[in-house]
Amino acid sequence: MEINWYPGHMARAKRLLSDQLSRVDVVIELCDARLPRSSRNPDLMRLTEKKEKVLLLGKSDLADPALTKQWTRRFQQEGARCLALDMNRQAKAALALIEQAARETVDRAAQRGIKKTVRAMIVGVPNVGKSTLINRLHGGAVAKVGDMPGVTRANQWVKVTPYLELMDTPGLLWPRLDDPLAARRLAYIAAIRDEVLDTAQLAIQLLTDLIAAAPEAVQARFKIDDLSLRGPELLDAVCRGRGFLMKGGVCDTDRACRIVLDEFRAGKLGRITLEAPGEENGNE
Ligand SMILES: Nc1nc2c(ncn2[C@@H]2O[C@H](COP(=O)(O)OP(=O)(O)O)[C@@H](O)[C@H]2O)c(=O)[nH]1
Ligand SMILES: [Mg+2]
């Protein structure tokens, strides 16, 4: 499993991905609609220069619909074939875009009298929904789905339509650890494992970012009355608000941390997107 992204892991992931990419006609890049900038990886652009591409913004059911519209428009203006979707309900909508991306390859082969089967693969950072997309396109369970990043098997091809085959192992893209803001946001959506981070610090930062992005939702969900609080006091406020108190009225901050992260990830605060196109450095 690619977990900590030590240099060795990173080099192995890069080699594996270039090898996988060399065997496909179409690359389906999947990012998270709540983080359309940070959950992409600029390295992919370089690795896929000569490929036909599709860009999908997954988990759109968890993202702010207005911002999702802005992001898809922005990517389309940049020339991307782009679509935002809730993978559990709308995955098949991606087929039309994949077909578009493959058309030229298919037509060129047809001119030479060949009926071409297009091969595609899905790439993305951990936890964006790659396995879910494979399973939904295929119509049955193929790829392992779970919250843990990584899991690689021998490559096989899954027939999705009579002319389209999908690599059954998604391409694992390394998260952007060079950019601290992006890395932090990737941790919010569990694209980087909690174990390698200071959970309390992460929960405090998430709360702070959520107060900026959706103050009413934070107030309603975590029962924090004073939104000017910062640092560890935010966690104490969650403990008091939600009644996470131990013997003697001591705050159970571990529980508050878990709840803050889990409930944001599950969309319990409503549909929140943490970055907008245009603000290049996010909301800091
Ligand atoms: N709400 C929501 N959850 C999704 C969506 N796509 C995937 N998930 C969930 O996200 C988690 C990670 O998905 P998975 O396919 O394993 O991601 P992978 O690591 O990229 O292969 C799982 O719990 C999925 O059920 C989506 O569009 N909306
Ligand atoms: Mg997976």
Whole-number pLDDT of residue 144: 57
Of the candidates 70, 69, 38, 36, the one whose C-alpha atom is nearest the C-alpha of residue 55 is 36
Is 148's pLDDT higher than 70?
no
- Residues, Cβ < 5 Å to ion ligand 2: 131
Residues within 6 Å of ligand 1 by CB: 58-59, 61-62, 86-88, 124, 126-132, 145-147, 149, 170
Whole-number pLDDT of residue 74: 98
Map residue 52 onto helix, strand or coil. Answer: strand
Q: What is the token pair recorded at 162?
A: 């009579």
Q: In a mutational test of the pocket of ligand 1, which residue from 87, 142, 151, 188 has the highest number of ligand atoms less than 8 Å from its CB? A: 87
For the domain bounded by 7-172, which CATH number is listed? 3.40.50.300
CA distances from 173 to 21, 124, 149, 194, 284 (A): 12, 5, 10, 18, 26
Q: Which is more confident, 146 or 89?
A: 89
Fold agreement (7-172, 198-265): no
CA distances from 196 to 3, 141, 206 (A): 9, 30, 16
Query: Domain-by-domain residue ranges, the chain?
Result: 7-172, 198-265
Whole-number pLDDT of residue 1: 33
Is 101's pLDDT higher than 90?
yes
Residue 133 CA: which ligand 1 atom is closest? 15
In this structure, what are the phi and psi dihedrals at residue 131, rounded to the nearest 5 degrees?
-65, -40
Whole-number pLDDT of residue 112: 96
Whole-number pLDDT of residue 149: 46
Q: Kindly give the distance from the C-alpha atom of residue 128 to the centroid of ligand 1, in angstroms, as a whole number.
A: 6
* CATH class, range 198-265: mainly alpha
Nearest Cα residue to atom 1 of ligand 1: 59
Amino acid, single-letter form, for residue 173 = L
Q: Kindly give the distance from the C-alpha atom of residue 226 to the centroid of ligand 1, in angstroms, as a whole number.
A: 34
Of the candidates 23, 261, 33, 199, the one whose C-alpha atom is nearest the C-alpha of residue 129 is 33
Interval 211-224 mean pLDDT? 96
Which H or E run contains 211? helix 199-213
Helix, strand, coil percent content, the chain, rounded in steps of 5: 45, 15, 40
Interval 136-148 mean pLDDT? 66
Interval 233-246 mean pLDDT? 97
Could you report the per-residue pLDDT of 31-75, keeping only the tens digit for each? 999 999 999 999 999 999 989 999 999 999 999 999 999 999 999
**Integer Rg of the chain from CA:** 20
Q: Kindly give the distance from the C-alpha atom of residue 103 to the centroid of ligand 1, in angstroms, as a whole number.
A: 28
